[in-house]
Structure 1
Amino acid sequence: MHLLHGQSSIGSVKFSGPAAPTAGFNDSNSQRACAAQLMKWRVSCTEMICKTRLLLFLALSILPMYVIAHSSSKCHQECGHNKTVKHRRFPFIGTSSACQIRLNCSTDGDIMVGEFPVRSIFPESILVNLEVRCNRSIKSLDHLFNTNYAPTTRNGILLKHCKSPASTCTIPTTKVNTHFESIDCGSDNYSISCYSEEHENGFLSQANVSKSHCQYLLSSISVDAFNTSSVVLDVGIVQLGWWLLGECKCHQEATCTEIQTPVAGQQGFRCKCRDGFDGDGYQAGVGCRKGEFRLPEFLNFLHLIR
């Protein structure tokens, strides 16, 4: 390439004018230094892009994991979008693995104990529907015994095809016959037995029920009072008493009741807020707070004591 007077060239770039400086560009050391600086800038820029992408990747990866971990540590009380535990004042009773007292969901979104629908939840009990069925296996009764709940002695369990006589049912036989005489189980109607027992801890024994060697679980009757002239029967309902495991962990403004559970070697407890306080009484729940003054209820109370 021929250069005219007053022109210099670096590659294809031309400088025109009087005596363009060429010494710095022709020096090989300077060219290498310039190239090294450009490479350094390029590497720095690439590292910055990589770091930005890495941080973005970590954020997108860790955030969902955090959300999932946080969600899994919470006791959920829903089955689908439309159905929730009917008594949500106990945040440790629900349908996820984080719940201390875990229920389950049916394919239709109903809240269940095993295969039995939950009717309602109270401070000491869970009421479960146990509709009449002639050919339900006695093994279904196992779902009602858990480390945190069990049928109370206020139930009469109706069984069928028992090889040995079931214990005498505390519920009067006439009342049982009145409610179940319309059941049509064919020739098996005469093999119905009513099982109940008295136990100091207030729960039925799973082992004792098994000793009856019955084949079918027909239904249940839950009663509000035994051996009295006035007995209220809940037909097709079984009452489960529930508890939390371990030593008492109640709010400072609550009283604790120790439960002798039917599970060997396991201690349980229940909490209840003192008079004048609202809440569930549990450290794992909402605790207790000073009851709000409600004028309508107070005026009604004054009217009653006049």
Structure 2
Amino acid sequence: MRNAAALLLVLLPWVLPLRAAAAGNGSCAPSCGNLTVQYPFGFSAGCKIQLGCDQGGNGTAWLGAKRELGLVVSNVTARALFLTLRPDCSRRLSSSVNELFTDNYAPGPQNTLVMSSCNNTAARGHNCTVQPAPLLDSSSHCFPGAKAENFSCVQPPLVPPSGNRFLNRTEIVALGSECAGLVSAASFLETPAPAPALVLCVMELEWWMLGPCHCSSQASCTNVTTPTTGQQAFRCECLEGFEGDGFVNGTGCRRVSSAAPNTKCNPSKNLAGDCGKTIQIALLVAGIVFGALVTAVTCAVYQLLKRRSASIRTKRSTKRLLSEASCPVPFYSYREIDRATDGFSDAKRLGTGAYGTVYAGRLADGRLVAVKRIRPRDNAGLECVMNEVKLVSCVCHRNLVRLLGCCIEQGHQILVYEFMPNGTLAQHLQRERGPAAMPWTVRLRIAAETAKAIAYLHSEVDPPIYHRDIKSSNILLDGEYNSKVADFGLSRLGKAALGESSSHISTAPQGTPGYVDPQYHQNFHLSDRSDVYSFGVVLVEVITAMKAVDLNRPPSEVNLAQLAVDRIGKGRVDDIVDPYLDPHRDAWTLSSIHKVAELAFRCLAFHSEMRPSMAEVADELDQVQRSGWAPSADDAAFMSKSSSICSSAASARGTDRSWGAARSRTERERAAVNASVVQETASKGAADSPVSVQERWFSDRSSPSSNSLLGNRSVH
């Protein structure tokens, strides 16, 4: 019942005008063929002003009771009724006058009559400039042999001024004694053009309703005095912005959506301002606009459905890939991630990679996290992300970055990692981050920890994982400068240990220029030794602080790996050592740098079987690290400055750990090593090392005792 009432309220504004129209018209038929007239006209007995109608054929409307007079109705406007009078010599003037002058309409002053069989007195008695010849050229209704001089143009006098002007009926009746017939007529119509238009074979009758004004409130009323009886009459016309007949007893006036200018147009197709053409053009424009809107809406809906379908497919694919992960991956809501990064604010942006952007964020529980947001509709990026999730979801090592969870809502692909406040190793080596250059002991420790993490992936995970993108920018540093290997997007699962001949997989080379194993690039064979080569480049970066590829260097030195192999092979390690390290400051520094250079030289061997395994690399770096001296004052200064920078991040995690406390045991071990042990170790390694040239590594200047006397060089 409520639904029916609501429907009635909705339809009421549409039903009431229809009922009003029906009530106003009663049983009046408003149409005859293609012609539709407004109140008070109609074509049935119930109409206020009845017109004749021939429903046969296209339907012809006529004026009066005598159809044979040929007074054809062509149009009815709010002011006038237009007749079409084809030239006809048999149309009697006296009979026509009775039909043209009634209580509801009469010819206006703009009409000119064309008479037949008039004497010269009548023809000369009335000023008229219209020649009857054009009316007769195409007419076959006049008697044979009719000539132009047999016809006269007559403009009867007007009714004395009384507010309205009409042709004088009495004078026209008097013309009947001088002229036999009403052949045709012409009418002057005012148009927007500079000069009025002459319409041939047309007569214009002004019409009215008897009585005082009785118009709608949205209509104007025109008072009329009838020309024959002098009675009071009126006409109604809707105001601009409204449409209808304007009569209270008719349909009244209703507002239109957009009020068009109140332009006047001629009912004849032979004149400028043709109403029909204007309507046709308006309909054409409206059709074009409507078609364009329909097309635009259709395209928009199609694109929306296409995007939605793609989003659904991506989400299903993502969930399927996540289900293949060896361990469940926690999910975060998009709202939580958006809030943690302040709506992915630019102020939170840490950097942009190949497949997306990384932001810093703080979860609701206070944890600092790194948020990797994959670019929308980046299928390659999504594949790499899902590959990373599958591989590292259950891998756990203190030197591997930890994946905390992901988010795949609303078409977004987001990974959440633990936050690394000290950036990347590459940033520190290139002096892009940190208060000072990184000391050698810190670099060596980071290299050793990184080697252990990669060795873990190769040896302790089954099946093994080949990283394929080992580089200094993928080695992250936490608040205590511990190494964290990241970015497993290009990683691949290796084969189980089936012997040396089956220790590789065939796949297209991928990675970063300057780090890619040349043998892998050549024969598409990926193995654990491919990561060894990449790590060898990292070791050279640690020693030299140079970029892996630098176009600003001479052409022969653009590739750091080639440069290092050349210099180390010739025993010229000192040529490429980072000047900040000052290798001659003490014996251990010089010895350890050369040992690491020798290890890097072996890692960079072209043939993979000549390279050591990552486990061997990790062991050698650990031995070099353990044989060292205690950290110098430079190391302590570097760590103290760095810890002050990261204090805000550390306090957010609620920890109070210091570099000295975490490394006290290592310092004590280093302090326990004396100069003689270092000298013995260095001398033993010099004989077998491919980078040793005699024994010029050690001198009185670089020995521990003399070094302590001379003092260390200043560090810049």
Shift of 1:148: 0.8
Aligned mates of 2:181, 2:167 — CA distance in 1 = 18
2:91 match: secondary structure: coil
Confirm or deny: 8 A CA contact 2:84 2:203 kept in the other structure: yes
Question: 2:256 — aligned with what?
Answer: 291
Confirm or deny: 8 A CA contact 1:254 1:288 kept in the other structure: yes
> 1:157 pairs with 113, 116, 119, which one?
113
Matching of residues 27-38 of structure 1 within 5 Å: none
Shift of 1:73: 4.8
Q: Deviations over 1:5-44 (max 9, x none)?
A: xxxxxxxxxxxxxxxxxxxxxxxxxxxxxxxxxxxxxxxx
Q: Does 1:221 align with 2:179?
A: no
Greater share of residues in strand: 1
Matching of residues 38-187 of structure 1 within 5 Å: 73-79=26-32, 83=33, 86-88=35-37, 90-106=38-54, 108=56, 109-114=59-64, 115=67, 116-141=71-96, 142-162=98-118, 165=122, 167-170=125-128, 172-173=129-130, 176-177=131-132, 179-180=134-135, 182=137, 185=143, 186=145
> 1:264 pairs with 229, 234, 240, which one?
229
Structure 2: gaps spanning 5 or more residues: 1-22, 261-281, 286-716
Structure 1 residues 230 and 121, CA gap change in structure 2 (3 angstroms): same
1:162 match: secondary structure: coil
Deviating beyond 6 angstroms after TM superposition, the runs of 4 or more aligned structure 1 residues are none
Shift of 1:91: 3.0
Aligned mates of 1:133, 1:291 — CA distance in 2 = 43
Question: 1:236 — aligned with what?
Answer: 201
Structure 1 residues 281 and 143, CA gap change in structure 2 (3 angstroms): same
Greater share of residues in helix: 2
Q: Deviations over 1:237-292 (max 9, x none)?
A: 11111111111010112221101111214221111222333222111211122332
Shift of 1:293: 3.4
Matching of residues 194-209 of structure 1 within 5 Å: 194-196=153-155, 197-199=157-159, 200=161, 201-209=164-172
The one-letter code matched in structure 2 to 1:113 is L
Larger radius of gyration: 2
Aligned mates of 2:146, 2:255 — CA distance in 1 = 60
Shift of 1:181: 5.9
Confirm or deny: 8 A CA contact 2:39 2:245 kept in the other structure: no
Shift of 1:78: 3.8
Aligned mates of 1:169, 1:156 — CA distance in 2 = 10
Question: 1:193 — aligned with what?
Answer: 152
**Number of residue pairs the alignment of both structures matches:** 218
Shift of 1:159: 0.8
Confirm or deny: 8 A CA contact 2:112 2:187 kept in the other structure: yes
Aligned mates of 2:29, 2:183 — CA distance in 1 = 32
2:204 match: secondary structure: strand
Question: 2:483 — aligned with what?
Answer: none
Shift of 1:177: 4.2
Structure 1 residues 271 and 294, CA gap change in structure 2 (3 angstroms): closer
Aligned mates of 2:27, 2:136 — CA distance in 1 = 47
The one-letter code matched in structure 1 to 2:108 is T
Structure 1: gaps spanning 5 or more residues: 1-69, 301-306
Structure with greater contact order relative to length (CA < 8 Å, sep ≥ 6): 1
Shift of 1:107: 7.0
Shift of 1:103: 0.5
1:143 match: secondary structure: helix
1:283 match: secondary structure: coil
Confirm or deny: 8 A CA contact 2:158 2:168 kept in the other structure: no
1:165 match: secondary structure: helix
Shift of 1:105: 2.0
TM-score, length basis structure 1: 0.62
Shift of 1:128: 0.9
Structure 1 residues 294 and 241, CA gap change in structure 2 (3 angstroms): closer
Aligned mates of 1:246, 1:223 — CA distance in 2 = 29
Aligned mates of 2:232, 2:46 — CA distance in 1 = 20
Structure 1 residues 165 and 97, CA gap change in structure 2 (3 angstroms): same
Shift of 1:140: 3.4
The one-letter code matched in structure 2 to 1:148 is N
Structure 1 residues 251 and 127, CA gap change in structure 2 (3 angstroms): same
Confirm or deny: 8 A CA contact 1:140 1:217 kept in the other structure: no
Aligned mates of 1:120, 1:97 — CA distance in 2 = 20
2:103 match: secondary structure: coil
1:96 match: secondary structure: coil
Q: Deviations over 1:60-93 (max 9, x none)?
A: xxxxxxxxxx9x95211244xxx15x243x2321
Confirm or deny: 8 A CA contact 1:154 1:224 kept in the other structure: yes
The alignment-based identity, stated in percent, is: 29
2:180 match: secondary structure: strand
Aligned mates of 1:237, 1:203 — CA distance in 2 = 16
Aligned mates of 1:238, 1:263 — CA distance in 2 = 19
Shift of 1:218: 0.7
The one-letter code matched in structure 1 to 2:169 is Q
Shift of 1:120: 1.1
TM-score, length basis structure 2: 0.28
Aligned mates of 1:144, 1:106 — CA distance in 2 = 19
